[in-house]
Structure 1
Amino acid sequence: MDGDTGAGAALSGLRVDRVSAHVHFAHTEHVNWVVYSGPDGVTLVDSGYVGQQGLLEASLAQVGVKPDDVDVVLITHGHADHLGGAAWLAEHFGTTVHAHPRELANVHREVFEQVGTGQVLRNGWRPGVAPWALAIVPLLDGRADLGVPSATEPPVRDGRIDVPGRPRMRLVDGHTSGHAVFEFEGEGVLVVGDAFVTGHRTSPLQGPQLLPSMFHRDAARVATSLDGIASSEARVVLPGHGEAWFGPAYAAVDAAVDAGSAW
């Protein structure tokens, strides 16, 4: 949207777009994350693979902040492509990390609700799956089980998380047991993680859609859980994979449910 603060700038596969006054969307080929940077501080939502640390640092620099400026990381769900940077920030800077209470066991890696090697191999014949799997191996850096043991439930005051940007957290489960979305109401922005996406390397579909079934803990639950965000008044929807959606959140939800998943 806005040309300020490095919007649209590309760096080694990274693009950072300013989508509201204080929210920036970091888009990469493999996964996205979101940076809120306002007068009250810096909140990062999701954080990429552990092997994308350089891109994470570059995205923060384009927003005009440093890693040690990040006050808190909010995790939509405990998958390797959303946890890696959070683990690094927590370890090296003591950064606070929060997730929905039902997702903490996954973020701590006490449970492992993530697609496994066997599922990938069984679906390797599908177009896009093998190239995707090969591409993420170096990004995992041999640490697919990396978690954030220090992650805690976020503090909530007056229905909002008491962190910079004060987003609302809503449980939208199915992808994982405690998958959450975060709505920055003052910015008109809804961050949906993998509740639905607008594109993925394993799918030929374009636009809002559900991820292929192998990625979900409960594939049957994924579409029905979206009812919880259809009433959102956000006009910018930021998914964990694919491009940003500009328009009513309910329209994105309807489109994702109608499209379903590629398989």
Structure 2
Amino acid sequence: MVGTAGGNRARESLRVDRLSERIHFAHTEHVNWVIYSGPDGVTLIDSGYYGQRALLEASLDAIGVGPADVAAVLVTHGHADHLGGAAWLSGQFCTPVYAHPLELANLRRDILEQAGTGRVLRNAWRPGVVPWAAAIVPLLDGKAGLGVPSATAAPIRGGRVDAPGHPRMRLIEGHTSGHAVFEFDDESVLVVGDALVTRHRTSPMQGPQLLPSMFHRDAERARASVGSIGWSTAHIVLPGHGEAWIGPARAAADAALSAGAPW
């Protein structure tokens, strides 16, 4: 399903693809999120920028549900482009927001592990950085430091997150201290956030790769840990930026390691 939705300040394209029986991939030019919708309820994994709320609502509407139907939001990591909708849902609908325990300080903004203005300016000479920064300013909606004070550790029961879809959660740190991935093994889908991406506006490369170093808390650790994705048996890998990877998770991780980061 392809269409557009009115954001707070501009119109932006949205594509929602059904990639398994219960998993839907919401893809925008800036960032992606994932919706699980099954007989046990609706779980949102990541949620875009705060200024993309209209797109988030449109993506839910596209699969026949609404914001009030979201039983839980799972957050791979606490960056503004993954957390905005979660903050809105938490405030508007009291939707529980869950993450890895090591990421809670970042979500609650006790700390801020995110590329700040200084780091962006130091890399402004690199191709793609200024256009990317200019494009996301309206999407931040003046809330670059917005957090979710109510965020809690994902409840685990029998090795799975106790939320609709019951994915497994695994720590893949480096991008942030508590970056996690979520595997819906019944759907053969792995949601990897920014552990690897397949495209980004600051990169000339296509396909699985690491984000540029300015986005990571610890770029070396991010590279060292991405190989851990290979434990997954999933054959659909959904990144936070770029297109879906259709193929074994191990192949996506190997390709990302081979490609590295653009800088």
State the TM-score, normalized to the length of structure 2. 0.96
Show structure 1 runs of 4+ deviating over 2 A.
none
Q: Distance in 2 between matches of 1:232 and 1:77?
A: 19
Aligned twin of 1:101: 101
1:57 equivalent in structure 2: 57
How much has 1:101 moved relative to structure 2? 0.1
Question: C-alpha displacement at 1:231, in angstroms?
Answer: 1.8
Residue aligning to 1:208: 208
Deviations 1:201-255 (A, max 9, x none): 0000000000000000000011211232212110000000000000000000000
Post-superposition offset of 1:9: 1.8
Query: How far is 1:151 from its partner?
Result: 0.5
2:89 paired residue number: 89
Maintained 8 Å contact 2:227/2:254: no
Is 1:159 aligned to residue 172 of structure 2? no
2:179 matches 1:194: no
Q: Is the 8 A contact 1:102 1:177 kept in 2?
A: yes
User: Which one-letter code corresponds to 1:61 in the other structure?
Assistant: D
* Residue identity opposite 2:132 in structure 1: W
CA deviation map 1:157-209 (0-9, x unaligned): 11101110000000000000000000000000000000000000000000000
Does the CA contact (< 8 Å) of 2:200 and 2:211 recur in 1?
Answer: yes
Q: Distance in 1 between matches of 2:77 and 2:63?
A: 24
Residue 230 (1) aligns with residue 223 (2): no
Size of the aligned set, in residue pairs, is 256
Residue identity matched to 1:57: E
Query: How far, CA to CA, are the matches of 1:13 and 1:127 in structure 2?
Result: 24
Aligned match of 2:3 in 10, 15, 22? 10
Structure 1 stretches lacking a partner, 5+ long: 1-7
- Find the aligned partners of 1:229 and 1:124 in 2 and give their Cα distance: 31
> What is residue 175 of structure 2 aligned with on the other side?
175
Percent of aligned positions that are identical: 70
SS in structure 2 of the partner of residue 224 of structure 1: helix
Aligned partner letter, 2:2 = A
User: After superposition, what is the alpha-carbon deviation per residue over 1:55-92, rounded to whole angstroms, capped at 9, x for unaligned?
Assistant: 00000000110000000000000000000000000000
- For 2:27 and 2:3, locate their aligned partners in 1 and report how far apart those are by CA, in whole Å: 10
Contact 1:196–1:239, Cα closer than 8 Å, also in 2: yes
Letter in 2 for 1:111: I
Corresponding residue for residue 112 of structure 1: 112
Matched with 1:239 is: 239
* Cα distance between partner residues in 2 of 1:186 and 1:169: 14
What is the CA–CA distance in structure 1 between the aligned matches of 2:237 and 2:62, rounded to whole Å? 21
Question: Counterparts of 2:65 and 2:39 in 1: how far apart (Å)?
Answer: 12
Q: Distance in 1 between matches of 2:2 and 2:129?
A: 29
Tell whether the 8 Å contact from 1:48 to 1:85 is kept in structure 2 after alignment: yes
Aligned to 2:22: 22
1: CA distance, partners of 2:28 / 2:227: 28
Runs of 5+ in structure 2 lacking a partner? 5-11
**Cα separation, 2, equivalents of 1:260 and 1:229:** 15
**TM superposition shift of 1:10:** 2.1
- Residue 3 (structure 1) aligns with: none
Q: CA RMSD in A?
A: 0.6
Instruction: Report SS of the residue matched to 2:186.
Output: helix
Q: 1:255 corresponds to which residue?
A: 255
One-letter amino acid of the structure 2 residue matched with residue 137 of structure 1: V
Aligned residues of 2:227 and 2:257 also touching (Cα < 8 A): no
Instruction: Verify: 1:66 aligned to 2:66, yes or no.
Output: yes
